[in-house]
A and B are shown apart, each in its own frame.
Chain A
Amino acid sequence: MRKLVFGASALAGLLLAGTAVQAQEITVGFVTSLSGPASSIGINYEKGMNAAYAYKADVGGVKIKLIKLDDGSDPSQATKNARKLVEQDKVDVMIGTSSAPGTNAMLTVANELKVPFIAVSPVSVPLPKEGHPWGISMVQTPPLMVKVIADRMKREGIKSVGYIGFSDSWGDLVYNGAKAAEQNGGPAVLTNERYARTDTSVTAQALKVVAAKPEGFLDGGSATQAALPLLELRKLGFKGPFFGTPSLLNRDFVRIGGKAAEGTQVSAGPVVVTSQLPNDHFSKKIGTAFHETFQKVNGGEADDGFSGYAFDGWVVFLEAAKTAMTKAKPGTPDFREALMEAIYSSKDVAGVHAVYNFTPKSYYGVDERSLVVVKLVDGKWVYQP
C-alpha cells in the first residue's frame, strides 16, 4: 500500500514536472497603499506579502512571479492598477488592497475581466447576477467580530452593556452586530451613544452610559481614539469590564488608553497571539512559520492583524493553484477559471487568521474559529481560551 501511494505521488510529481516545463510561471499582481492616508495599514500588507513570498514562491516547481503596485490610497488608481495588471501583465490572480473603496474598485474590475481576486479588506460589491463572483475577501466580517465578543460577555455572565461608538458606518456596524447578538440571547445593549474621531470630549456620552448602569461596556470606536470613552468612563467611576472589536488592536490605543484600558477584552484574529496559542490550534503551526519568516524578511515583530490577511491570501492562492495546475496552463483564461473553481472547492484551508471555506454565494469564507478573545494585561494582549 505504502509503495503504491509513493508510486502514485511520484507519478503525480512527474506529471506536474511535465506541465511545469511547458508553463513558464504563474503571475500574481499585488496592490497596496504605500502612500496616502491608508498607507499606515497598507505598509503592513506589503510586509505580510513580503513574508508570504519568502515563505513559498513556487507551486509544484513552477515559479511564481509577483508584481507589486502602489495605489496611493486612491480608488481610481486601484482600478487603473487592476486593469494594468490584467491587460498588460496578464496576471493569473490579483491580491489587494488596504482601503475598502479601493478594494471594491478592484473587485469590480475582477468581476468584469474574469480574473480571480483575493481581497485583504472588507468588500461590499453586490454578487454578480450570472455566474460566480470572481473575488473572495480574507477578513472576518464585523457582525462576526461582535458576535464572538458578545458570546464571551454571555459566558462571563454579563447581562447588559453600554455602547459608545463612532458616528460613522463603523459605529453602525458594531451597534447592529451587538443588537443582533442581543436577539440571540446576548447581553442587552442599553445605550447607543456616538462620537466623532475629532471630538474633544465624550464626557456627556459617558455620563449617559454610567446613568444607564450597565454591567459592561462595548467600545464601537477604532484605533487611537477608541481609548477616549474608556478613559472618560473610568474617570466617572465606571467599574464594569470593557469589550471591543479587533479595531482596538493598535499600539497607540494601548499607549493612550494606559491604565484605563487595562483588562479590555477584544475579539481578534489568532495571528496576534500565535505564540500563546495551544499546540493543537489550527493557526499554531502556520502562524509560527509566518512570524519567523516575517521577522527574517522585514525585521521586527508582526504585531498587527493586517499582514496576516495578505499572508492568508497567499496561502489560499497556493492551495488553489496546486489543483488548478493540473487542469490548465498558467496565463490562460482556462487557468483563471480553474483557479477560481479550485478556491471554491478547497475545504478547510488553515491560515494564520482562520480556516477558510469559500463558496460562490458569498465573498467571505470564515467562521467563528477565525476569532479568539484577547485581554489587555500590562499593556500586552493575552490569549483568553
Chain B
Amino acid sequence: MNAQIAAILTLDGIASGAIYVLIAIGFVLIFAVTRIIFVPFGDITAFTALTLASLENKHLPGTVGMVAVLAAMATLMEIFSLWRKGTLGRVPRALLFYLILPLIPAGVVWLTAGTLLPTALRILLTVAVILPIPPLLNRIVYQPIADATVLLLLIVSVALHFAMSGLGLLFFGPEGVRTQGFVDYTAIIAGTPVSGQAILILGSAIFFSFLLYLFFSFTLTGKALHATALNRTGARLMGIRPQQACTIAFLLGALLAAISGILIAPVNTIFYDSGFLIGLKSFVGAIIGGMVSFPVTAIGSMLVGILESFAAFLSSPFKDVIVFSILIPVLLWRSYTLVHAEDEDEE
C-alpha cells in the first residue's frame, strides 16, 4: 500500500462514513427521545433511493401505495382511540395529520407519474413521500406500546424491519437501481481524484449535522425534544407532550434517512434489502457514541466508514467481520469508563 492508495481508501471511507453519520445521528435522535432502536431506518434509506430511481425511470414508485395503506391504518387507529376516549371532536384534526397531509405528496407523485420532472423537484417529491412513513409507523406500531421496555421495543423494531423488507420486495421488485449522478465533476487534490459526489455527501453530512445542532440549541421544539431525551417524566411535568415529541423525532429521523438515501442513490446500486447492512454499520457508529452523544456518534460513524474501506483492501472476504468486531473493544471501553445509565431504565 502506498500513500496514494491510502488516500483513495480514506476518501472512499469518508464518503461512506458520511452516509453512516447521517443515519447514526437519526438512530441516536430517535432512541434518545423515544427509547426505540429504529431498526428499519436503513430500509427507509433504501426506499428513498428506490423511489428516486422509480421517478427517474418514469414509473409510479411503490412507496405511494405504502404511504396510502399506512395513512389509512394510522387514521383508523387514531379515530378508534379517540372514540374510546370519548373525544370525537378531535377527529378532523386527526384526519388532517394522519390522512390528508401524508397523502398530499403521494397524490402529487401519483398524478405526475409518467412525466419526467426536473431533478430538484424529483428529489423534493421523493423526500416528501418518504417523510410521513416513519411517523405513521410510529403511530401504528410503537404508540400502542410506548411504555414497554427497551427490549420489547427493540424486538418489535426487528420484526418491523422484516415486514418492511418484505414490503420492499413487493413494492419495488428484486432488481437493483442506480440513479444518475447529480454532479459529474472530479477534483484532483494532491494527485488523488476526488469525485464531486463524495464532496456532496460529505458537505451534506456536515450541513445537516450543523442544522440539527442549531435546531436543538435555538428552537423551542428542539429544546423540548432535548428535554424529553434527558428526562421523560420531567419533560411531561413541564407540559411537553411525549407523543408529539415522538412524532417530531421520527419526522427528523425520516428526513435524515431520506437525505442519506438521496445521496447514496447515484453512488451505488440499491436493492430493496440493501438498507439493513447500511443501517447496521451506522448502528455501530451510534454505539460508539453510546446512543447519547451526537459528536461522538459522528466521529464513530466516520471511523466505521474508513475502517471498512481499509478492511476491504486488506482482506475483502472478512471486511464485515472486521467492522463488526470493533464493537467488542468499544463495548468493553464504554462499560469500563461510563457510569451505567441504570436510573434511566428504572423509569
Partner of B316 from the list A195, A223, A225, A252 (CB cut-off 8 Å) is A195
Interface pick from A84-92, A133-141, A196-204, A321-329: A196-204
B313 near A196 with CB under 8 A, answer no
Interface string of B259-277 (1 = CB under 8 A from A): 0000010011101011011
Q: In the bound complex, what is the Cα–Cα distance between A252 and B175 (angstroms)?
A: 7
Number of contact residues on B: which range applies? Answer: 20 to 34
B317 touches A207 (CB 8 A): no
Please tell me which one of the listed residues A164, A201, A227 contacts residue B309 in the complex, with CB atoms under 8 A apart: A201
Q: Which one of A211, A236, A256 contacts B269 once the chains associate, using CB atoms below 8 Å?
A: A256
Report chain B residues within 8 Å CB of A201. Answer: 12, 15-16, 267-268, 309, 312
User: Given contacts A198-B273, A198-B274, are A203 and B9 in contact (CB under 8 A)?
Assistant: yes
List chain B residues, Cβ under 8 A from A256: 176-178, 269
Contact A196 B312 (CB under 8 A): no
A194 at the interface (CB under 8 A from B): yes
Within 8 A of B (CB), among A157-198: 164, 167, 193-198
Shortest distance in angstroms between B257's beta carbon and chain A's nearest beta carbon?
A: 15
Contact of A204 among B175, B276, B309 (CB under 8 A): B309
The CA of A204 and the CA of B267, in the complex, are separated in Å by 15
Contact B312 A204 (CB under 8 A): yes
Is B8 interfacial (CB-CB < 8 Å)?
A: yes
Complex Cα distance, B177 from A197, in Å, reads 12
Q: Does any Cβ of A come within 8 Å of B310's Cβ?
A: yes
Report A-chain residues with C-beta under 8 Å of the C-beta of B203: none
B174 proximal to A (CB < 8 A) = yes
State whether the Cβ of B5 lies closer than 8 Å to any Cβ in chain A.
yes
Number of interface residues of A (CB under 8 A): 29
Contact yes or no, A205 B176, CB < 8 A: no
A225, B274: Cα distance in complex, Å: 11
Given A207-B8, A211-B5, answer yes or no on A200-B169 (Cβ-Cβ < 8 Å).
no
The answer to whether A204 and B313 touch across the interface, beta carbons within 8 angstroms, is yes
Given contacts A194-B316, A224-B176, whether A204 and B9 have CB atoms under 8 Å apart is: yes
Shortest Cβ gap from A294 to chain B (Å): 22
Q: Say yes or no for A295: interface residue by CB 8 A criterion.
A: no
Write the B238-282 contact mask toward A (1 if CB under 8 angstroms, else 0).
000000000000000000000000001001110101101110000
A218 within 8 A of B: no
Do A208 and B276 have beta carbons less than 8 Å apart? no
Distance of A200 Cα from B273 Cα, bound (Å): 12
Q: Across the interface, which residues of B come within 8 angstroms of A211, CB to CB? A: 5
Cα A359 to Cα B273 in complex, Å, equals: 42
Is B78 part of the contact surface with A, judged by Cβ < 8 Å? no
Q: Given A167-B317, A205-B312, A225-B269, does the pair A200, B174 have CB atoms closer than 8 Å?
A: no
Main secondary structure of the interface of B (DSSP, over half): helix
Q: Are B274 and A37 neighbours in the complex by a CB distance under 8 Å?
A: no
B144 part of interface (Cβ distance < 8 Å): no
Q: How far is the CA of A228 from the CA of B270 in the complex (A)?
A: 11
Could you tell me the distance between the alpha carbons of A10 and B268 in the complex, rounded to whole angstroms? Answer: 65
Shortest C-beta distance, A262 to chain B (Å), equals: 16
Docked CA distance A280–B169 (Å): 44
B278 nearest in chain A by CB position? A200
Inter-chain contact B276/A198, CB cutoff 8 Å? yes
Instruction: Judge whether A200 and B313 touch: CB under 8 Å.
Output: no
Contact across chains for A204 and B310 when beta carbons are under 8 A apart: yes
Q: Is A288 in contact with chain B by the CB < 8 A criterion? A: no
Contact B316 A204, beta carbon cutoff 8 Å: yes
Residues on B with C-beta less than 8 A from A228 are 268-269
Q: Kindly report which residue of chain A lies nearest to residue B195, judged by CB atoms.
A: A235
Q: Does A362 contact B (CB under 8 A)?
A: no
Instruction: Check if B269 sits within 8 Å of A202, measured CB to CB.
Output: no
Q: Answer whether A200 and B176 are a contact pair too, CB < 8 Å, given A207-B313, A211-B5.
A: no
Chain A residue, CB-CB nearest to B42: A198
B103 within 8 A of A: no
Nearest Cβ on chain A to B259's Cβ, whole angstroms: 16
Interface 1/0 per residue, B32-48 and A, CB below 8 Å = 00000000000000000
- Give B9 Cβ to nearest chain A Cβ, in Å: 6
* Closest Cβ–Cβ distance, residue A201 to chain B (whole Å): 6
Q: How far is the CA of A252 from the CA of B172 in the complex (A)?
A: 14
Nearest CB on A from B253, distance (A): 20
In the assembled complex, the CB of B299 is this many whole angstroms from the nearest CB of chain A, namely 20
Contacts A203-B309, A227-B269; A252 near B176 (Cβ below 8 A)? yes
- Contact status B316-A193, CB under 8 Å: yes
For A33-71 the 0/1 string (1 means CB < 8 A from B) is: 000010010000000000000000000000000000000
Q: List, in ascending order, chain B residues with CB within 8 A of A204's CB.
A: 9, 12, 309-313, 316
* A235→B268 CA distance, assembly (Å): 13
Question: Hey, which chain A residues are within 8 Å of B277, CB to CB?
Answer: 196, 198-199
Q: Kindly report which residue of chain B lies nearest to residue A226, judged by CB atoms.
A: B269
**Does B19 sit within 8 A of A, measured CB to CB?**
yes
Contacting residues, chain A, for B15 (C-beta < 8 A):
201
Specify which chain A residues have a CB less than 8 angstroms from the CB of B320 in the assembled complex.
196
Q: Which residue of A lies closest to B310 (CB)?
A: A204
Asked if B12 and A203 make an inter-chain contact with CB atoms under 8 angstroms apart, the answer reads yes
Residue interface mask A256-284, B partner, CB < 8 A = 1? 10000000000000000000000000000
Cα distance, A182 to B209, chains bound together (Å): 52
A203 touches B8 (CB 8 A): yes
Given contacts A201-B309, A225-B176, contact A207 B269 (CB under 8 A): no
Residues on B with C-beta less than 8 A from A40 are 173-175
Residues on the A chain within 8 Å of B271, using CB: 197-198, 224-225
Whole-angstrom distance between the alpha carbons of A205 and B317 in the complex?
10
Given A203-B312, A211-B5, 17 other A-B contacts at CB below 8 A?
A194-B316, A194-B317, A198-B274, A199-B268, A201-B12, A201-B268, A201-B309, A203-B8, A204-B311, A204-B313, A204-B316, A205-B313, A223-B176, A228-B268, A235-B195, A236-B8, A252-B175
Contact residues of B with A, CB < 8 Å?
5, 8-9, 12, 15-16, 19, 169, 173-178, 195, 264, 267-269, 271, 273-274, 276-278, 309-313, 316-317, 320
Q: List 19 A-B contacts (CB under 8 A).
A: A37-B169, A37-B174, A40-B173, A40-B174, A167-B316, A194-B317, A196-B320, A198-B271, A199-B277, A200-B19, A200-B274, A204-B9, A204-B310, A205-B313, A207-B8, A225-B269, A252-B175, A256-B178, A256-B269
The chain A residues found within 8 Å of chain B, CB to CB, are 37, 40, 164, 167, 193-205, 207-208, 211, 223-225, 227-228, 235-236, 252, 256
